[in-house]
Structure 1
Amino acid sequence: MATIDGYYFWVCTKGAERRGKRIGALVAGTGLDPRNFMRPGWRGPTEAMALLVRNVWASLDDEYMGYTARRVRPGSFAFACELALEGASVADGLARAARFYNLLGAGIGTGVRSVPAGLEIEVRFERPALDPDHYFSEFWLIIWHRLACWLAGETISLLSAEFDYPRPDAYFEEFKYLFPCRHRFDGGARRIVMDAHALHAPVRRTAGELEAMLAAAPLDIMTIPASDASVARQVRQFLTRGPDLTLDELAHETGLSPHKLRRLLRAEGTTLATIRENVRRDKAMRLLTSGNATVEAIAEMLGYTEARSFTRAFRQWTGRSPSAWRAGG
């Protein structure tokens, strides 16, 4: 069972407590004893943290948990996710959700933009003094990353995280797990950068999956792994650098036998062919949107013997021809 350091349980309720809510009422039904929160070495189950967050939402009628001057009514996250589900890509889905939150004007500005390294999420608090322990700043950035992973149906790597406050030495070991990437403190903003895969990865979730996720929210989002050490991720990284690598070559690179590599990929719910197609798709989209290469040249770069074979595959991925995709941005 996944667990979370007691510090995060202790700080989770502070916004509500500052608004007059009693800790006993906030932990009701969670199975938690607040006396444990600051006990050295104590960790609580992720499921209990999710229940605690839901209790705070309900007690304040505020999904921002008392850390902003204005409330965000329960149901806002659900609506933002519905908008994200309609995105043409994970990045587009996140941008739609961010626009909705920004229109609420509730005290947090969220920016979603493409940068040279990948996809950047930046959050700006109008009144950062309402979050003196930086709990909600970190929680909110984590939610955006995990939502990207959920939409993609796979873990998207975090590349970097920047914060405009000092390194949190009191809980840095847990912090490193939540943000498994390069860190910068005392910087100029609060932001994360995700792997460029998020820019073009399609939204792979259905309305039914969204309904199930929201029924348990924020549990499903909170339990998505922060990093991906899977075999599928390793294979994808090798194929990104060498798209024509064979099964035997990939087995050598991963230190596995071809049979074991195939078996582990099946156990993770994928195949070499699927990963290869996803790598081709992502590269094709990048080349079409950021370069001037012809469709014929892109087809050749991706290993297709004929441009029409590439065009047929691209239509299956996106529902549009490569030329139509390029024209539509």
Structure 2
Amino acid sequence: MTEAPRIFGQFYHISQGMTMTETGRRMISPFFVEEALDCLRRQGKSPKKVLAAIGLPARIEGPISAEGYGALWLAIAAEMDDEFFGMGGRPMRCGSFTLLCHCVLHAKTLDQGLRRALRFLNVVLEDPAGHVEIADGLAQIVLTDRADGRSAFAYRAYWILLHGIACWLVGRRIPLRMVDFRCAEPDHGADYRLFFGAPVRFSQAVSRLALDASVLKLPIARSEQALKQFLRNAPANILVRYRYDAGLAAAIRKRLRQVPPASWGAFDDLAAQMRMSPSTLRHRLQAEGRTYATIRDEIRRDLAVELLQTTTLGVGEIAARLGFSEPSAFHRAFRKWTAKSPAGFRRETATASGSR
């Protein structure tokens, strides 16, 4: 019997299908499913056959579980012999993701691991090509295209792979500060914003993913055995474990979003509300790589972006709504978050929307 192709560290058997379970929380938009199936159609292959092989109906009308989407990714990769849905300059042949993980496993820091991963993907895919730029406290992974650019789905797939590996290497979710897409906003752009849990902009000069530069110093200490376990569950574990809405930090974020920033209490008050001692809450947040201050900053940042994009409120009024004592403090914080002034960000967003 011919050995089945190894995909994302797993042996994929179409004849056996795959049993899927619901996450109960993290569901994948049907638009993302349809975009993945379109990749099959462009190569003249039958989506119905692939969907049937993993026990999904021929017509997907609602969200599916992360495990279901992971199974679909595996099935499409097997059918196309391409783990990047046929969207690169060259196919990412089955087994490439496993080799990529081995390539970065023994890096000493996340900085070294990311740069190795980008070199690997540049060689395998050829186009797009990625590199790291560091400025204004941000580490930006920038993608350049030889041709006219790609779909939002292609860039999203690239970010899923790269961000997922990075999070696994350091053992925690790495918060995203900004996600830019070179392409125009698709009809379901809201799904992209919800998926990343960070400010998302379309019609930009380049596609980029921005992280705090400080995370590049994080050490990597993963074993070969840990890698085997990671690969057994990929890519579904990337979609579930390192989502922005997982863990204690997500529960705190949800609690804080229910009240105005100006009414947020002190850390000890939060601990009491959550029936924990301050030391226990602090320790559990540290295990997720988070702090109360960073969670509050992220919410303020997201609210600031939303208010600047969707309202005509003055910068001073936005600053007050976000709980800043004065507009100058808001200006400093917003520059730290986005490397732009609030007014500059609003003008840029308005220009991009007008061009669309």
TM-score by length of structure 1 reads 0.68
Structure 2: distance between partners of 1:55 and 1:233: 31
What's the offset of the Cα at 1:7? 0.6
Give yes or no for contact 1:102–1:110 (8 Å, CA) kept in 2. yes
Aligned equivalent of 1:165:
183
Change (3 A) 1:113 1:35: same
Structure 1: distance between partners of 2:280 and 2:109: 30
* Local SS of the residue matching 1:13: helix
Change (3 A) 1:214 1:158: same
Partner deviation per Cα, 1:28-48 (whole Å, 9 max, x = no partner): 332211312xx3xx1111111
Aligned equivalent of 1:113:
133
Structure 1: distance between partners of 2:55 and 2:148: 31
What's the offset of the Cα at 1:204? 3.5
Partner deviation per Cα, 1:173-211 (whole Å, 9 max, x = no partner): 321122222232221101110122321111143221111
Task: Output the amino acid matched with 2:30.
Answer: G
Kindly indicate whether residue 141 of structure 2 is the aligned counterpart of residue 141 of structure 1: no
Aligned equivalent of 1:5:
29
What's the offset of the Cα at 1:171? 1.7
Task: Output the amino acid matched with 1:185.
Answer: F
What's the offset of the Cα at 1:268? 6.5
Aligned equivalent of 1:26:
50
Give yes or no for contact 2:54–2:72 (8 Å, CA) kept in 1. yes
Structure 2: distance between partners of 1:213 and 1:229: 18
Aligned equivalent of 2:116:
96
Partner deviation per Cα, 1:45-81 (whole Å, 9 max, x = no partner): 1111111111111111111211134212111111111
TM-score by length of structure 2 reads 0.63
* Local SS of the residue matching 1:10: helix
Aligned equivalent of 1:197:
214
Kindly indicate whether residue 81 of structure 2 is the aligned counterpart of residue 81 of structure 1: no
Structure 2: distance between partners of 1:23 and 1:233: 35
Give yes or no for contact 1:161–1:181 (8 Å, CA) kept in 2. yes
Aligned equivalent of 2:38:
14
- Measured on the aligned residues, the alpha-carbon RMSD in Å equals 3.1
Structure 1 gaps of 5+ residues are 236-248, 277-329
Change (3 A) 1:75 1:229: closer
Change (3 A) 1:199 1:270: closer
What's the offset of the Cα at 1:127? 4.0
Aligned pair count? 255
Give yes or no for contact 1:91–1:119 (8 Å, CA) kept in 2. no
Partner deviation per Cα, 1:196-241 (whole Å, 9 max, x = no partner): 2321111143221111111222111121333267557999xxxxxx
Which structure would you say has the larger RCO, counting Cα contacts within 8 Å and 6 or more residues apart?
A: 2
Give yes or no for contact 1:98–1:111 (8 Å, CA) kept in 2. yes
* Local SS of the residue matching 1:158: coil
Structure 1: distance between partners of 2:154 and 2:161: 10
Structure 2: distance between partners of 1:69 and 1:105: 5
Change (3 A) 1:194 1:35: same
Structure 2: distance between partners of 1:153 and 1:51: 23
Structure 2: distance between partners of 1:120 and 1:31: 39
Kindly indicate whether residue 234 of structure 2 is the aligned counterpart of residue 217 of structure 1: yes
Identify which range, 259-268 or 92-101, moves more after superposition. Answer: 259-268
Structure 1: distance between partners of 2:147 and 2:82: 16
Identify which range, 107-116 or 154-163, moves more after superposition. Answer: 107-116
Change (3 A) 1:229 1:23: closer
Task: Output the amino acid matched with 2:92.
Answer: V
Match for residue 64 of structure 1 among 79, 84, 94: 84
Structure 1: distance between partners of 2:283 and 2:216: 26
Change (3 A) 1:167 1:152: same
Give yes or no for contact 1:149–1:224 (8 Å, CA) kept in 2. no
Structure 2 gaps of 5+ residues are 1-22, 253-265, 292-356
Change (3 A) 1:228 1:197: farther
Change (3 A) 1:152 1:99: same
Change (3 A) 1:64 1:24: same
Give yes or no for contact 2:183–2:204 (8 Å, CA) kept in 1. yes
Kindly indicate whether residue 174 of structure 2 is the aligned counterpart of residue 156 of structure 1: yes
Task: Output the amino acid matched with 1:206.
Answer: S
Structure 2: distance between partners of 1:102 and 1:82: 16
Task: Output the amino acid matched with 2:268.
Answer: A
Task: Output the amino acid matched with 2:184.
Answer: P
Structure 1: distance between partners of 2:131 and 2:79: 29
Partner deviation per Cα, 1:142-191 (whole Å, 9 max, x = no partner): 322222111111111100111122233x2233211222222322211011
Change (3 A) 1:79 1:128: farther
Task: Output the amino acid matched with 1:137.
Answer: Y
Structure 2: distance between partners of 1:125 and 1:83: 24
What percentage of residue pairs aligned between the two structures are identical? Answer: 24
